[in-house]
Amino acid sequence: MTHSIAVHGGAGLIRRHALSPAREQEARDALHEALQAGDRVLAAGGDAVEAVLRAVCVLEDAPVFNAGRGAVFAADGTIRMDAAVMSGADRSAGAVGAVQRLRHPIRAADLVRRTTPHVLLVGADAEERVVAAGAERCTDEELFVQERWDHFVRARAEGRVALDHDLDDAEPKGTVGAVARDAHGHVAAATSTGGLANKHPARVGDTPIVGAGTWAWDHTCAVSATGHGEAMMRCCAAARVSALMELAGLDLAAATARVVHEELPLLGGTGGLIAVDARTGRIALPFNSGGMYRGSLDTEGNLHIAIW
Site residues, ligand ASP (CB under 6 A):
10, 66, 163, 174-175, 193, 195-196, 205-207, 213, 226-229
* Cα distance between residue 122 and residue 200, in whole Å: 14
Total residues belonging to the chain: 308
State the catalytic residue, choosing from 2, 139, 175, 207. 175
Which of the 8 DSSP states describes residue 17?
G
> In whole angstroms, how far apart are CA 4 and each of 52, 146, 250, 287?
11, 35, 21, 20
Least separation in angstroms between CB 207 and ligand ASP: 5
| Residue type, position 126, single letter | A
Residue with smaller CB distance to ligand ASP, 89 or 307: 307
Please say if 175 is a catalytic residue: yes
Least separation in angstroms between CB 247 and ligand ASP: 25
Least separation in angstroms between CB 246 and ligand ASP: 24
Residue with smaller CB distance to ligand ASP, 46 or 68: 68
Helix (H, G, I), strand (E, B) or coil at 202: coil
Residue (of 90, 87, 95) closest to 51 by Cα position: 87
Residue (of 207, 239, 206) closest to 220 by Cα position: 239
User: Number of C-alpha atoms within 13 angstroms, CB side, residue 15?
Assistant: 9
Count of C-beta atoms within a 10 Å radius of residue 257: 17
Buried b (16+ CB within 10 A) or exposed e, 228-248: bbbbbbbbbbbbbbbbbbeee
* Cα distance between residue 178 and residue 201, in whole Å: 26
Strand bridging mode 93-99 / 81-87 = antiparallel
Residue with smaller CB distance to ligand ASP, 3 or 199: 199
Cβ–Cβ < 8 Å for 214, 239: no
Residue with smaller CB distance to ligand ASP, 46 or 227: 227
> In whole angstroms, how far apart are CA 193 and each of 5, 41, 50, 113, 303?
19, 23, 19, 18, 24
Least separation in angstroms between CB 64 and ligand ASP: 13
Cβ–Cβ < 8 Å for 131, 99: no
- Where helices occur in 7-145 by DSSP H, the ranges are 21-43, 48-61, 105-115, 123-132, 140-143
Least separation in angstroms between CB 13 and ligand ASP: 12
Residues known to be catalytic:
175
